[in-house]
Chain A
């Protein structure tokens, strides 16, 4: 919103366009100045005016052949004459070059002087600020352009002339915030006129981030938008929900990119103009049954909207990723063997790895050897039972044998945009490459994005535009199909005493100690390098749109979108070889060692047709209305093809043409297919009315039909209404405005949405064919199963949502505050309708039978300002977003309130478990313990040998009072045994409600500052509280308490393990497997090991420097910025007290945590615009 003030004191104005006119000389020449003037006057319609006394026109100057700008030529020929040009209209005046003057004056707005306004002289480094009276003083040459800016006001440029003092500059208030336009469903609206809950993220908020996907960038930046990462794998899609759990059946928000279904992982972040996160039902209702989980609208950038030169932007980053958690594990062979044997023997009575006492002494002798000492080799050979065999005495750092800590990653992005009055264009491309964590044959993820947008004004009333994008990704990784399988394999049977390879280079698989392969054979796999996998995805999307404006106020848009997505995966496995006895190779040939290639291809074709019209007008005085109505149809067809073949002719080439024959001379191949289809058809309409932008009303309705329900129940109507009151527009608010309150708005909305995110054909009882893992003397036969019967009247889940909102801004919009509160009722959730007795024999049919209610709120507060630091403006900003919600089950058929299922009144995510009371302090106490702990110490009672039964250092469970002996109605005595009672809310035995798995108090804090071209920002993101009980098989947490053959034992594990010397340890008496099942001492959920995995994460830290314009202009670069950006750099969490090896977000994924480790990112980048 620049304004060019033409002040009366101007002597001449400079028009850049005149100066940029082209003039041409035919050849290099030495000619008199007057001849140059003549030729310029001849080639342009300009007249050159000058005072003949001040310049010698006979002076010989040199010109060079070719096309140049007028300004360039004139500046060159006038060099050294002390003259320069000023252009006005078609006159080029030669004037004396100006001298620097001191200009002084006052900056003010309509009411008062402005303090702290920044004045910069274009083309120089001169900067000044206004003082407390709004006065300024700045040195500049006559004719220079002076820029005046301050937050909350429109920027102004003036040309400094011959008036040096008492220059009055009046700034107008920036109404940008008020005029800001927000993308909503099928249209846009002014932000101030919004009546629903919509949060907007602008391009500049994403620009500095070094996260490689949009979803990761959004984490923590929008209140109520919850993003969780499923693993640290390059290219891993994040899980997104809006305002928490929307349905017990799960589901994810509708993501529309320029109006068509899309994927946040597959869009180039640099293409994004804005993202609207639609949170309440009234705003989402225009999308009806697809929008029950909220809507995220992504709008991509368009070409310049006025004539101008093309803009080219380049942005490049390079850096590293590294794990967020500690990788310091026990690497001493001695302790790895000792600990696993200690735990194993407590369970089985025999050691896990039968290292003899002599062997243990060998390991002990080497315990300090970080690398192999030639005097004490890590592998020796002895003859046992007539055969040479490898003895292993290594100190292997398995983590770093398997994985790299630092992995390079780069990204490049280029865009090219511009346009003329009638044609606009935007072309962009980007490339990202992330190297993964595997050390041998590292996994690699790369992705490519291309986008082309064109828009033509064909006639005054018709615009045709096209928006085409292409995405491709490619992930290659070693090991088993499904990269997390390798992380799972790595967890077990990898003693540090085993070397990574045998001295002759053969792989270490089974050992003389164990018949199980080291890490289930992972090193055999990685070392031979033939287990390879590749996942490729391609996404092509094109939309063609016609916009017709038959008359003012009416706009009709029709568009057609076609998306084609394909995903290919290739999984190759080969035989494995390892050696136990020197010179003897053993071969693995079954299971994941079978020589086999599997290729899977899936195609998704999506078509969407939209047509909608918008009419807006004003009647009377201040009555504004807008009507929009439209029709849409979309359909998607999904098709899968799988083929596999065995016994390939090559270990390195992976193609089904290479399938050979097995020992019986047979060619073994398998094929599979599958396809699904759905369609949605809808009509929708919206009506907006406002009076003087003071009272706002909106009504939405959508009538939706889907193929996913039977013809009788496939149509649904989803209405919504909302209202807003802009109190700040009331006449009585004038006085508040005078003290700086700029905006105050109250909003209320109600809407109803449907959820059609159910199976494609849930209403039809289907027959499924599979291959049976049971033989009848031949190849595997097929078998069939039948779906359980379905409820005939299966239909939409319905979501009713109420939202109240408050927007508030003051001090020239420098302080702004938004609060939202909502109640969301999810009704008729599809679930096993009623709990049926087990004799039914199948999962009870799904019915629309469960309800739940979520209550939540969101706050966002931001402040931005600037002040003078060391004479230069220092601008800074701070913003905080905060959200929370609680979900309760309000209807579920579980009359007994059995705790293993949902029940009415249950807070979603409850964790029930036992209370513990420390350890037994003596064997005596344990032996005579009066409480029967067999329900939770099952294994201890069945352990073999000397460790049978409870002992000192074992965990005591609390027998809760469940029996009322004195008749006062309050239970006062325990029943002498640990039990779950009837496992119901009324009779839950010794169970207590310990916590909740749902995240509470989610927040993001953003701090930024810039000064002298330097910019700095910090983004913190976190969860206030969240409970997690480690999965029985989470070896990263339990170590050998789960499986007593753990590969990764934390370096400080011994200090956390109970022993006579360490009776106050975190973990109890060492016993293998006691965490591995739910009825065992640690596997049983209890308060002692319940973790709070709330966290605060330094999500992003950016430090950048923009090279001053004055330097860059000479290189024809309009902006150049270099920066460092780090993602996920550090975190704080109560979890860290108990383990440094598990990222709290990793813990939140649940399960055994055998997933790709979480990564932080360090990136150096450059942004260039010219």
Chain B
């Protein structure tokens, strides 16, 4: 009887037990449509940085916590920590299904878009790890290539170049500020080729077929194409040298004349960040610009601030006078007025570790609370490509005054700064920019172009400050030792007879800061700091505000690359560790 029932059940089971998903498509249906490809590729965009674009720390900015990279605080992770490959896998998945799409044009567009993002993703990997394995198809779980050794950075770079060239050739040339276009691809190519060229140059990597100059040339070419063909310009929307630059970072919707690609934020759709809060709060990291950078801004007339006698101990109000207008558009100076306000706002030391409060992406007071900002964030803008161009040409040794005029000098012109002169720059390289104690460049190319390279770096540093570039600039220039220099804030004078000094930074009659030695004075001030307790001063009772008592530590033989997670190496014995990282594995 049982067997009869079993037999009956088996014959009937086919229909009764066949339950297909009713709210989800199969890959075959999905990838054959343009709408499907669009939906799938939308997710690629999340690879672009977000809050990291304004909250970078490095030698340019101090914050409450010193980044582990700067203080030798990195350890070999057991897994993850940048060694994540989901983004690349997703791109490869889409590329693998593209043949199902009958719409040839769409397929080509999404192939170009996918390959743009693959180059973008691999750039992040190469920056972090150097050599990485190259994958251009969706990996199966039994694919032996999962266990292959790392490919050389040469192979990866060549593949990235093939990808990005395909993207440049096939992405639309129509400007679109929130979507990847041909121009975004050119900007990316300029960025990663400059990285690779300078990295190989300064790290002395010459063993591959293509040397540093090959990549510097590619960077220069891509930049040149961009500058001459794209139609992007340096934005001067405010029509005022004292506002043009800041305007880029206070305009709610990114300025499309200069910005190539921005990340769109809009509170109406719940897409918000905390840029305003980050620089107007005591709990969001208390970012402050390093004294070194403040000192590196030129005077308005193009002369060097650091040539002025006594600049080292100059007080806040004096040092802010007559500087490159970009300074007052990047940090709070005595004249700073918040968007939508009329009165000046003074630097607030409880919001900033150094007293030099950053103001890029700070808009109205209403956006200064936590998760209240919705200003667009800039991922690629033309100024970077201009700087890339000048730097690539300078490093190649082929820089001309014309080159400077079509690139760096346009940036200077926007803010009313005198033009950079190639001959003058090379004639007297700025000793401050090479001063070791002030975190100057020690490895910059000596010889004919040293002066102009230093100047281009100065220009890059202040133009692109707080836009997420600095850490890897230091890496590619092999200047990690810079991180060992102390991070300084404003200079605090010696105390008076009562053991106090008072500061009214914006001359509004209200004392913004009082530093006292032992007894808190009765005189009113916005912030009171007891020297040695609430604030550490470089000379004990006076001197530069020094946020971190501990200095940075940089291991030249180890720290330019990140460690490969130890579990990854346990799983793949062919995976070599980066030099100097001890993960306890004996291979």
Q: Identify the A interface with B (CB < 8 A).
A: 344-345, 347-352, 354, 357, 385, 510, 514-516, 589-591, 594, 629, 631, 633, 635, 662-664, 673-683, 685, 703, 705-707, 711, 714-715, 760-761, 764-769, 772-777, 779-786, 789, 791, 833-842, 844-845, 896, 898, 900, 934-935, 938-939, 941-946, 948-949, 979-984, 987, 989
Q: Which residues of A contact B549 (CB under 8 A)?
A: 945-946, 948-949
The answer to whether B312 has its CB under 8 Å from any CB of chain A is: no
- Across the interface, B71 reaches (CB within 8 A) one of A349, A679, A942, namely A942
- Asked if A633 meets B266 with Cβ closer than 8 Å, knowing A761-B21, A837-B147, A841-B139, the reply is no
In the bound complex, CA of A344 to CA of B283 (Å): 9
Instruction: Report the stretch among B1-9, B290-298, B356-364 that lies at the interface.
Output: B1-9
Residue of A nearest to B574 (CB): A837
- A sample of 5 inter-chain contacts (CB < 8 A) reads A348-B282, A349-B547, A590-B267, A760-B19, A838-B568
Q: Which residues of B contact A979 (CB under 8 A)?
A: 75, 584
Say whether A944 contacts B146, CB under 8 Å.
no
Say whether A782 contacts B42, CB under 8 Å.
yes
Q: Which residues of B contact A949 (CB under 8 A)?
A: 549-550
In the bound complex, CA of A938 to CA of B67 (Å): 11
Chain A: minimal CB distance from B139 (Å)? 5
Say whether A833 contacts B584, CB under 8 Å.
no
- Across the interface, B73 reaches (CB within 8 A) one of A349, A706, A785, A934, namely A934
Say whether B264 contacts A776, CB under 8 Å.
yes
Using a CB-CB cutoff of 8 Å, which residues 251-306 of chain B contact chain A?
253, 263-272, 277, 280-283, 286
Using a CB-CB cutoff of 8 Å, which residues 371-386 of chain B contact chain A?
371-372
Say whether A982 contacts B570, CB under 8 Å.
yes
Say whether A705 contacts B13, CB under 8 Å.
yes
Say whether B141 contacts A844, CB under 8 Å.
yes
Chain A: minimal CB distance from B582 (Å)? 9
Instruction: Report the stretch among B80-88, B213-221, B443-451 that lies at the interface.
Output: B80-88
Using a CB-CB cutoff of 8 Å, which residues 83-139 of chain B contact chain A?
83-90, 92-93, 133, 135, 139
Q: Which residues of A contact B557 (CB under 8 A)?
A: none
Residue of A nearest to B70 (CB): A942
A-B CB pair tally, cutoff 8 Å = 284
- Asked if A783 meets B85 with Cβ closer than 8 Å, knowing A662-B268, A767-B25, A835-B571, the reply is no
In the bound complex, CA of A715 to CA of B369 (Å): 59
Q: Which residues of B contact A761 (CB under 8 A)?
A: 19-21, 24
Say whether B65 contacts A942, CB under 8 Å.
yes
Residue of B nearest to A843 (CB): B86
- Asked if A837 meets B146 with Cβ closer than 8 Å, knowing A629-B1, A980-B78, the reply is yes
Say whether A776 contacts B178, CB under 8 Å.
yes
Q: Which residues of B contact A779 (CB under 8 A)?
A: 269
In the bound complex, CA of A345 to CA of B86 (Å): 40
The answer to whether B244 has its CB under 8 Å from any CB of chain A is: no
Interface code B26-47, partner A: CB below 8 Å = 1, 0 otherwise? 1100100000100110110110
In the bound complex, CA of A685 to CA of B88 (Å): 53
Say whether B39 contacts A989, CB under 8 Å.
no
Q: Which residues of B contact A935 (CB under 8 A)?
A: 75
Q: Which residues of B contact A348 (CB under 8 A)?
A: 64, 282-283, 286
- Asked if A349 meets B271 with Cβ closer than 8 Å, knowing A707-B19, A775-B264, the reply is no
Sorted nearest first, the 10 A-B pairs with minimum C-beta distance are: A841-B89, A841-B85, A775-B264, A982-B584, A707-B19, A896-B570, A784-B39, A948-B549, A783-B42, A942-B65
- Across the interface, B16 reaches (CB within 8 A) one of A681, A841, A898, namely A681
Using a CB-CB cutoff of 8 Å, which residues 525-553 of chain B contact chain A?
527, 532-536, 547-550
Q: Which residues of A contact B286 (CB under 8 A)?
A: 348, 350, 944
In the bound complex, CA of A920 to CA of B310 (Å): 44
Q: Which residues of A contact B10 (CB under 8 A)?
A: 715
Q: Which residues of A contact B461 (CB under 8 A)?
A: none
In the bound complex, CA of A785 to CA of B25 (Å): 11
Interface code B477-507, partner A: CB below 8 Å = 1, 0 otherwise? 0000000000000000000000000000000
Say whether B572 contacts A946, CB under 8 Å.
no
Residue of A nearest to B84 (CB): A838
Chain B: minimal CB distance from A445 (Å)? 31
- Asked if A772 meets B89 with Cβ closer than 8 Å, knowing A683-B6, A707-B17, A837-B147, the reply is no
Say whether A983 contacts B264, CB under 8 Å.
no
- Asked if A839 meets B45 with Cβ closer than 8 Å, knowing A765-B27, A776-B178, A948-B549, the reply is no
Say whether A629 contacts B5, CB under 8 Å.
yes
Q: Which residues of A contact B65 (CB under 8 A)?
A: 939, 942-944
Say whether A675 contacts B269, CB under 8 Å.
no
The answer to whether B583 has its CB under 8 Å from any CB of chain A is: yes
Q: Identify the B interface with A (CB < 8 A).
A: 1-2, 5-6, 8-10, 12-14, 16-27, 30, 36, 39-40, 42-43, 45-46, 64-66, 68, 71, 73, 75, 78-80, 83-90, 92-93, 133, 135, 139-141, 146-147, 177-179, 253, 263-272, 277, 280-283, 286, 350, 353, 368-372, 510, 520, 527, 532-536, 547-550, 565-568, 570-572, 575, 583-585
- Across the interface, A942 reaches (CB within 8 A) one of B17, B22, B66, B139, namely B66
In the bound complex, CA of A945 to CA of B537 (Å): 10
Residue of A nearest to B29 (CB): A767
Chain B: minimal CB distance from A631 (Å)? 6
Say whether B283 contacts A840, CB under 8 Å.
no
In the bound complex, CA of A981 to CA of B583 (Å): 7
Say whether A774 contacts B83, CB under 8 Å.
no
Say whether A837 contacts B568, CB under 8 Å.
yes
Say whether B584 contacts A989, CB under 8 Å.
yes
Q: Which residues of B contact A987 (CB under 8 A)?
A: 584
Say whether A774 contacts B45, CB under 8 Å.
yes
Say whether A510 contacts B78, CB under 8 Å.
no
In the bound complex, CA of A760 to CA of B370 (Å): 41
Chain A: minimal CB distance from B212 (Å)? 28
In the bound complex, CA of A685 to CA of B266 (Å): 63
Q: Which residues of A contact B16 (CB under 8 A)?
A: 633, 635, 679, 681
- Across the interface, A945 reaches (CB within 8 A) one of B19, B40, B547, namely B547
Say whether A677 contacts B584, CB under 8 Å.
no
In the bound complex, CA of A587 to CA of B353 (Å): 31
Say whether B85 contacts A838, CB under 8 Å.
yes
- Across the interface, A839 reaches (CB within 8 A) one of B135, B369, B548, namely B135
Q: Which residues of A contact B135 (CB under 8 A)?
A: 839, 841
In the bound complex, CA of A487 to CA of B131 (Å): 47
Residue of B nearest to A840 (CB): B139
- Asked if A591 meets B25 with Cβ closer than 8 Å, knowing A786-B93, A944-B548, A982-B585, the reply is no
With A348-B64, A635-B16 already in contact, 9 other A-B pairs whose C-beta atoms are closer than 8 Å: A349-B534, A705-B13, A780-B271, A785-B40, A786-B40, A786-B90, A841-B88, A945-B535, A979-B75
Q: Which residues of B contact A633 (CB under 8 A)?
A: 16
Say whether B266 contacts A837, CB under 8 Å.
no
Say whether A900 contacts B78, CB under 8 Å.
yes
Residue of B nearest to A962 (CB): B584
Chain B: minimal CB distance from A624 (Å)? 20
Chain A: minimal CB distance from B54 (Å)? 17
Q: Which residues of A contact B535 (CB under 8 A)?
A: 349, 945
Q: Which residues of A contact B75 (CB under 8 A)?
A: 934-935, 979
Say whether A768 contacts B88, CB under 8 Å.
no
Output the residue of A347, A633, A683, A772 with the most chain B CB within 10 A: A683
In the bound complex, CA of A683 to CA of B2 (Å): 8
Say whether B40 contacts A349, CB under 8 Å.
no
Residue of A nearest to B17 (CB): A707
In the bound complex, CA of A945 to CA of B66 (Å): 11
